[in-house]
Structure 1
Amino acid sequence: MSHTVLLSGPPGCGKTTWILSQIQSYRGPSGYLRVTGYPDEGLAQARDGGLDLAYLRDQCPDLLDLGDLDQALAPHPADLLALIELPQFHPPAQPGLAGVDRRVMPQLQALHLNPDRHLHFGRDPELPRQDTLDFSHLQAWSLNLNATVWDPDSLSSFWFELVNGAYGDVYRAKALMNLPDGRAFFCNWMVSQEGSQFLPLQTLAPPDGRPERLSRLVVQGRDLDPAAIEATVRDCLLSDAVLELQQAPLRQRHTPPTRSA
């Protein structure tokens, strides 16, 4: 029997982390959908751009993308666990399914998804509460970084500056970042945490030019300076020439020796 859970909560409360734990502990097929949340007075929703889905599918390659129309129209497996993530700033006025934001239902119905359970961070006791913050004002900004590769030392310096107020009061930051050796990291920070998470992706890109996978930076906070963030980011990215200088030795190291005649 399939089971569809709608999980809502404010930025950085742990929705994606909780969803990952459910997928990893479930023995049957799983699917995921992130629904775009709705802004509130003075509170802007972030443009995820597929960031959470990309990370979850790296960790769980068989995960179904429930936002894919072809998969939505195809029959779902009988024992599918469908997990829907909805950014939502304030707790629902009513418990359970009665508290689901009615604005989201047409999108779910178009994808043949009908939640049979609704959990909200900060309301339901089975969910963690330590990162559930009440925001009174929140800006959101994101930057598409597809096909970019970071200088590793510059990435560390930039991230430290970002979360420590160099570009405004950042409350939430997450990103997927590519490195020249083919690795990528899911970078995650919340103001209520003691430090940042730098979680390596399982999939490696060949050290042969720019990777094709999604790369993106998402920032939420107050008094943000997007122009300064973007300018610093551009200074931290590798040019084609420098990228080739760093990748060429890596390719030679993995090239099998040629037999002599």
Structure 2
Amino acid sequence: MSSLSLIAVAGPSGSGKTTWINQFLGEQTTPAYYLRPGLEKASVDIGAINYRFPSVEVVSDTQAQTVLSQRLRLPKRKAPALTVGQLPEKATVYMEVGFHLDLASSCLTSFPFHRVAVLPPEMESSQWHEWADQVVQGNSVESARNGQLPNIWCTPLRGQVFDPASLDTIWTELTGGAYGQVQRAKGIFEVPDGSLVQIDFVDGLSGSEYRNLNVSPWLDGRPNRFSGLEVVGWELEESAIAQAVLDSCLSDHVIKQYQSYYQEVVSS
């Protein structure tokens, strides 16, 4: 009998689902897999897990049904990539369930997931309470406003580079309400010294969390790796956000100047 563990983690946006999963990924000694249905192409969470936990395999939406159904053992522990329909025994699959997904969807009901709800301490009853096998106390967040769930807007930023001052300005404007009421914002951004910066904001918590991701500096042209922005909130001015982001991106000429400088710094 397979000892594969399936864990689904759900809750409101900003409650701490990703943080809860990450604490286990950081301590994982057996094979671990991660699935985030519905936001695959622009998911900041998927990008961050790829960078922070390179041994964790990300299961795509298209692979998920077959992979979870068949549960076969991989021929080697460190295969270069997950083969559809193959999972090792003693593996743990973490599925992060976005607030926008139906808890009765087939991807959740077709498999024997252990259901974990990460919920605000002030929330005493909800659809997540009814769904969960285990309730974990998370961040205090507003899950709905006047009965209306927040909207989610995301965009990939592959190839775009931001100078730190401009990035700080647009982040302060965004989280300060210049483009609508933002409940949650998360992003991975390229900066001129070739590094990647992850920024997280949750309304109600103090400030934003900045993290330098452990990746090799990209100092040769526009970066060809994942970066992106995800914003959750109400009355979001999506076109204005997109334009502000675009206006903050560096031109080819400026990127080349920065990279020439940092290449000299590295070589000296």
TM-score by length of 1: 0.81
Change (3 A) 1:55 1:115: farther
- Does the aligned pair in 1 maintain the 2:16–2:139 contact within 8 Å? no
Give me the whole-angstrom Cα distance separating, in 2, the residues matched to 1:243 and 1:143: 21
- Out of 128, 142, 150, the residue aligned to residue 133 of structure 1 is 142
Gaps of 5+ in 2: 64-80, 120-128
Q: Give, in angstroms, the shift of residue 148 of structure 1.
A: 0.2
Partner of 1:53: 46
Q: Are positions 1:101 and 2:104 aligned together?
A: yes
Match of 2:94 in 1: 83
The corresponding residue for 1:152 is 164
Aligned to 2:20: 18
Query: Structure 2 vs 1, CA of residues 115 and 24 (structure 1 numbering), >3 Å: closer, same or farther?
Result: farther
Pairs within 5 Å for 1:100-249? 101-105=104-108, 114-122=111-119, 123=129, 127-135=136-144, 136-137=147-148, 138-249=150-261
Aligned equivalent of 2:9: 7
Change (3 A) 1:18 1:193: same
Q: Give the deviation of 1:74 after TM superposition.
A: 4.0
Distance verdict in 2 for CA 1:61–1:12, change over 3 Å? same
Is the 1:32–1:82 contact (alpha carbons within 8 Å) kept by the matching residues of 2? yes
Q: Sort the Cα spacing of 1:83 and 1:72 in 2 relative to 1 into closer, same or farther, 3 A.
A: farther
Could you give the per-residue CA deviations for residues 142-163 of structure 1, whole angstroms, max 9, x where no partner exists? 2221110001110011101110
**CA deviation profile, 1:82-120 (whole Å, cap 9, x unmatched):** 101111369x9xxxxxxx5243348xx6xxxx3331111
Comparing 123-132 and 76-85, the one that deviates more: 123-132
CA-CA distance at 1:131 after TM superposition: 3.2
Give the Cα separation in 2 of the matches to 1:238 and 1:168: 25
Q: Taking structure 1 as reference, are residues 58 and 130 closer, same or farther at Cα in structure 2, changes over 3 Å only? A: same
Residue identity matched to 2:154: S
Q: Which residue of 2 is the match for residue 252 of structure 1?
A: 264
Aligned residues: 233
The corresponding residue for 1:33 is 35
State how far apart, in whole Å, the 2-side matches of 1:214 and 1:116 are.
29
Matched letter for residue 19 of structure 2: T
CA distance in 1, matches of 2:141, 2:194: 34
What SS does the corresponding residue of 2:9 show, helix, strand or coil?
A: strand
The separation in 2 between residues aligned to 1:53 and 1:28, in whole angstroms, is 19
CA RMSD of aligned residues (A): 2.4
Measure how far apart 1:187 and its partner are.
Answer: 1.2
What are the superposed Cα offsets for residues 211-242 of structure 1, whole Å, 9 maximum, x if unpaired? Answer: 11111111121222222222221221110001
Partner of residue 96, structure 1: none
CA spacing shift, 1:2–1:153, aligned 2, 3 Å:
same
**Alignment partner of 1:158: what SS?**
helix
Segments ≥4 residues shifted beyond 3 Å: 123-126
TM-score normalised by the chain length of structure 2: 0.79
Using a 3 Å threshold, how does the CA distance of structure 1 residues 48 and 118 change in structure 2: closer, same or farther? Answer: farther
